[in-house]
Amino acid sequence: MNHGAERARSAAELLPPSAQRDWLQATLDRILSEPLRTPTQLAKFHLDRADGCHRLAGSMQDRSDMLQKLSDQERYDRDLAAKYQASLPPNYPPRFARHAELLLAWESAGGDLCYKRDRKRIGERRYPDPTGPVVSFLVIAAEVKPGTTHNIILRYRGLQLTPIATKLTGRLAGTIDESKISVIDKNSNPVQVR
């Protein structure tokens, strides 16, 4: 087993049992085996994948279930390419584009972006390292130091890729369970949605 596959397996095990562990492990295998890409190259990669799905769907006959999956994958890749082009400046380092891909996969498979970051105590020079499953995931999958995960997650949240992750999670699970969706107001109070 190569180092990337071992990292993918270890990282997928951090997901809760109800999450899409097999899908995450396969996605991480793909991401970690590929070279680093700039944001422009990453968007082109997803456009090429969408085109490949479109060509494959055009050559298939009599397989409506497979055609639907290819159509969903094509739409997902096109949405993701457009989001990468709009959100990631072309001069962002390829390393951050890789981090965004990894966090999108984590979130799409059912992982949570929440983590705990303690306050800096009086007399200490730096903040304690954040803790939580997403921090452990980044340390294993991206091989970053725990102290840098806070900034990586904040930059990723700024990309606003979450709606894409939510659509993908619903597609993976078959449907989105609307009873599990919660909305909070600006004071962090739950809001009743009808």
Residue 127: DSSP 8-state? P
Which are the contacts of 79, defined by CB distance < 8 A and separation ≥ 6? 164, 167
Q: At 39, which amino acid appears?
A: P
Residues whose CB is less than 8 angstroms from the CB of residue 150 and which lie 6 or more positions away in sequence, other chains included? 115, 117, 127, 130
Looking at residue 112, what is its pLDDT? 82
Q: What is the pLDDT of residue 165?
A: 52
Helix spans in 88-148 (H)? 94-108, 133-141
pLDDT (0 to 100) of residue 151: 86
For residue 105, which of 131, 138, 154 has the smallest C-alpha distance? 138
Residue 92: the pLDDT is: 80
Q: What is the 3-state secondary structure (H, E, C) of 13-42?
A: CCCCCCCCHHHHHHHHHHHHHCCCCCHHHH
| Rg of the chain (C-alpha set) | 18
Question: H or E element: which one contains 184?
Answer: strand 183-184
Q: Which two tokens stand for residue 124?
A: 């200490």
Q: Up-side HSE of residue 127: CA atoms within 13 Å toward CB?
A: 13
> Splitting the chain (194 residues) into consecutive groups of 10 residues, what average pLDDT does each group show?
71 76 83 87 87 80 74 83 80 86 85 82 80 88 85 82 55 41 50 46
Q: Residue 172: its pLDDT value, please?
A: 44
Cα distance between residue 6 and residue 181, in whole Å: 33
Residue 178: per-residue pLDDT: 40
Select from 5, 56, 69, 42 the least CA-distant residue to 161: 42
Do 81 and 41 touch, CB atoms closer than 8 A? no
Q: At residue 138, what is the residue type? A: L
Q: Where are the domains of the chain?
A: 3-38+92-114+130-191
